[in-house]
Amino acid sequence: MLSSSAQALTQEVRASFVPDPAGPQNNKFIDQTPQSGYCGIYVADCKAYNLSGVRLPLRFASVRSIEPGAAVRNGAMFKIPNQWRSLTVRNVVNGEVATVEMRIGGVGTQYVLSDTAVNLTGAATDQQAHNELWGGKGWWFPSRPCDAGAMTTHGPNFYRSFWRGPAEAVCSKETAFRIPWMSYDYLDIGYELRTPNPLAMSAGIYTGELTYGAGPGQDIDAGDNLLPGNSTITFRFVLDVQHMLKVDLPPGGNRIELIPQGGWQAWLQEGRRPVRLFRDQTFSLSTSSRFRMSFECQHGGIGACALRDSESGNTFPQVYLSVSLPHGITDSAGQPVTHKRLTERPTDTLFQPGEFVDRAPGVLHFEVPGYYMEHMLQPGQAKQFAGNVTVIFDSEV
């Protein structure tokens, strides 16, 4: 998506993250920008240098002839803004921010001459004429430290090529013949991105802009002779973050029966009260996002859920809830999650996956501590304690 005005160009750069169960290690944004220009045609040549590419309708034209022996800035040149630059992208719904970095690693164009290269140089063929026009070295190879792309094409009065800039440097060529007039018909940009960690971002659309100046002394500088038709190039970034949070219980896993270690035989046969009542309930977790956990109680307690005695109606004993999460998920301190106590307050917990976790096992630990045993268990008395506990997994953090 590209728009232009008399003074500015805007190019959209779009990237997305969608969890991939087939590749849980692939936790990076994918550039969805339609590729065009040199890097859109010669993909392998650009990918070898981590470059993607777009073609911009930015035209440069000379304001005077290009003369042999002229200073670099009066001849044919490009300064490539190779250094990394950062911008802030912001979630359009909740305002959350992240940082994107971009560098321009190469530029390409098609120069067009006022006459054919053969007429300007007197050479026999187009190829020979384009070479001799630039001192027998051709347009293909720029001055060092710049480097040439692998592919070029040419015609009687034009030549297409791509130059890479490994540093913030000027790439130039010196003509051996007078060129009355010359233009660059478009600008191919080869860019590289550093995107934020999508697992640490909320789901949603993030937008931000990065602007480069074009013209003498600006970021993209073609010297003092070849001047651009637009003064700025704005890259508008749109990052789409999609997350998954899915919890599966095995059949019957929503009914929790709290029992002593080894069962009830020691109590029933010997009258020995158990140390505690508990149940470890496994579940399957798939997640690519930060999330919080909390619970709600049918019968309220303090940091736990009360259980109700079906005979008396009393809600004295409490069941405490903790969780152990799959490998790769850490708490707010960066530690593995083992028997992490849960509360009614979502703000008490924050869990962060280090990679996309796909159908990995976790455990919910339910426990009634030993100090409730004397109240709950009396010889010769049958009692039943029950209550509902709702466990909440919340990715809206």
CATH code for the domain of 390: 2.60.40
What distances in angstroms separate CA 18 from CA 22, 205, 247, 286, 358, one per listed residue? Answer: 12, 12, 18, 13, 13
Domain count, the chain: 2
Both 58 and 97 in a single domain? yes
Specify whether 69 is located in the same domain as 156.
Answer: yes
What's the pLDDT band for 166 if we cut at 50, 70, 90? confident
Beta pairing, strands 97-113 & 187-194: antiparallel
Residue 305 and residue 203 share a domain: no
Do 181 and 281 share a domain, yes or no?
no
Last residue of a domain, one of 241, 266, 298: 241
**DSSP for 264-307?**
SHHHHHH-PPPS-EEEEEEEEEEESS-BEEEEEESSB-SSSEE-
How is residue 223 written in tokens?
A: 């010297």
Residue position matching structure tokens 């268990």 = 377
For the stretch 19-53, pLDDT in tens is 988 887 888 999 999 999 999 999 999 999 999 99
Over range 204-225, report the average pLDDT: 97
Same domain, 192 and 99: yes
pLDDT tens-digit series, residues 265-289: 888 888 889 999 999 999 999 999 9
Regarding whether 202 and 270 lie in a shared domain, the answer is no
Q: Which of 210, 241, 272 represents a domain boundary (last residue)?
A: 241
Residues 218 and 259 in one domain: no
- Looking at the structure, tell me whether residues 217 and 253 fall in a common domain: no
Q: Are residues 191 and 257 in the same domain?
A: no
CB 169 within 8 A of CB 59: no
Residue 216 has pLDDT above 50, yes or no: yes
Q: Does 75 lie in the same domain as 122? A: yes
> What are the residues whose beta carbons fall under 8 Å from the beta carbon of 162, sequence distance 6 or more?
38, 39, 42, 45, 106, 107, 108, 148, 149, 151, 188, 190
pLDDT value for 3: 44
Task: Looking at the structure, tell me whether residues 211 and 271 fall in a common domain.
Answer: no
State which residues form the domain around 47: 2-241
